[in-house]
Structure 1
């Protein structure tokens, strides 16, 4: 197949950042290294005071559009990014997230499948760039559907590239786990979902994490119960708890 004849749709890469200059720079540099020809890079800043704005202003070579203003949390900021996007596909890479290689987007679209969703795996790295391998506790299913989400985020948002026509706004009534609800809705509305079978993103260990663990768990169960039978949701969480404990004992680390 002649790669010059492959359809290469416009991709809107959206980065949410707040007072995270150094990690944002890593994300932006990974976008800058892409060989893909049609990228719209959008940055939604929450009103940073640490020099992030200076970096944004100096990066007109790669940043297509940006805003800096207070928001009502990360999901509100992500909704702003969705509204700003004009690409056929959307890809969320927040501060500290990185694209796996300079040719990743070309590799994603090489099949010419025109899918609603492309997905892949995620590599875990530390701030020095040391790799801890693929995300082990939950790996992407071979054939992803919304039903897989009964296990929670079996796919990271950093490794989801979604056609804008399949995208919905994040439900801001959820403060901690709106990404689970959002991903289920996106997958439900998608007819064609392609597994790239590649690592397509790097996730920085120690980056964004959910706080208020009990509140997050309650909200997570509430969300999953809206989409699945409550009995199976609770049973699955018991199984996941045992799996998590075994994982900690075996690897002596939490991923």
Structure 2
């Protein structure tokens, strides 16, 4: 039987590779007692990892989940039939997992959907196979949940390939603001936790989504007006290794924004929905202008205004036009 509801100690896990030191390799987390001070069980936290050919990263992910010192944890890994060493690594830790499988699927979103079916906890999150939690992250999340919060968003440390780092803090937002994807509302997915009674109303996610399943998920969560907590506590490490989907969406990524935003905007009142649809259509025209603003002539920008007069309500349009005129005069 898989070991569940038991905080795992460093000595319980397989010995890490000799070149690996520090958290979560040679350092663990002090475990919480089996029960809370009032004798109740700690809230159960269900974590899902979708995985495919990330054998170079997934062991750190697994250990960072298992070594949280958290007594009521479910950990599910759904692998899409990896052909590298991913399955071998998962098998090293299978006695500590609630469930895992390696089989062909229809992509990351499909894997998250499949993993969610095995979640029975009070709190839900997913962590990708190239990310990791920081020490005691789940212990801190549970404390927010016990205060009544049902949407809990922390911060994330970004690790870049050149060795530099950055921090992404969660920005407080509501459904209407987050819906406007052209306004950057940071929600580092790996550091966001949701009460399962809320997330139950969000699944299944659209498995055709390649980039923006987290955007769809958070919109569905925020539409329920959860009691939200935002903190600058760093609960995760996001590794930017150059092959991530996150960052600089191509035209297909922008199409997903339009698709998801318009679909989820149906939760708005009718008039607001129509206004939002107009904004989205405006941005379809504005986005290529923004990308190419340094090379566009005033004539080209004005031509876009003729095609879509409502883009004239956007301040950024006039800024681009004035800058193009100044550049032409130089």
What TM bracket, shorter-length normalisation? 0.7 to 0.9
Partner of 2:304: none
| Residues 171, 182 of structure 1: 8 Å contact kept | no
Pick 1 or 2: higher relative contact order, CA cutoff 8 A, min separation 6: 1
1:170 aligned residue (205, 213, 237)? 205
Q: TM-score, normalized by length of structure 2?
A: 0.64
Equivalent residue runs for 1:47-196 within 5 Å? 47-99=81-133, 101-111=134-144, 112-126=146-160, 130=163, 132-135=165-168, 139-141=169-171, 143-152=172-181, 154-167=186-199, 168=202, 169-196=204-231
- Structural RMSD (CA): 3.0
CA 1:123 to 1:117, structure 2 compared with 1: closer, same or farther past 3 Å? same
Structure 1 pair 94/175, CA: closer, same or farther in 2 (3 Å)? closer
Question: 1:22 Cα deviation (Å)?
Answer: 1.7
1:242/1:20 CA distance change after superposition, 3 Å: same
Q: In terms of Rg, which structure is larger?
A: 2
Equivalent-residue separation in structure 2 for 1:113 and 1:235 (angstroms): 42
Deviation, 1:212, is 7.5
Out of 259, 275, 287, the position equivalent to 1:222 is 259
8 Å Cα contact 2:94/2:100 also seen in 1 = no
User: Cα distance 1:91–1:131, how it changes in 2: closer, same or farther (>3 A)?
Assistant: farther
Cα offset, 1:173, TM superposition: 4.1
Contact 2:109 2:208 in 1 (8 A): no
**Cα displacement string for residues 114-139 of structure 1 (whole angstroms, at most 9, x for unaligned residues):** 322111111101469x451213xxx4
- Contact kept in structure 2, 1:120 and 1:160, CA below 8 Å: yes
State the 1:193 CA deviation.
1.4
1:133-158 superposed Cα distances (whole Å, 9 cap, x missing partner): 213xxx422x3322231343621221
Question: 2:42 & 2:112 partners in 1: Cα distance?
Answer: 24
Q: Distance in 1 between matches of 2:174 and 2:213?
A: 18
| Cα deviation code 1:194-224 (max 9, x no counterpart) | 2133121111102531697112112212322
The total of aligned residue pairs comes to: 237
Q: 1:80 to 1:127 in 2, by over 3 A?
A: farther
CA contact (8 A) 1:123 1:131 kept: no
Deviation at 1:17, TM superposition (A): 0.8
3-state SS, counterpart of residue 109 of structure 1: helix
Runs of 4+ in 1 over 6 A off after TM superposition: none
Q: Which position in structure 2 is the counterpart of 1:251?
A: none
Which stretches in structure 2 are left out of the alignment for 5+ residues?
A: 1-35, 266-272, 294-330
Q: CA deviation at 1:181?
A: 1.8
Does the 8 Å CA contact 1:14/1:81 hold for their aligned counterparts? Answer: yes
- Provide Cα deviations, 1:38-94, integer angstroms capped at 9, x if missing partner: 111110000112121111111134322101111111111110011111111111101
Q: Counterpart in 2 of 1:253?
A: none
Contact 1:151 1:236 in 2 (8 A): no
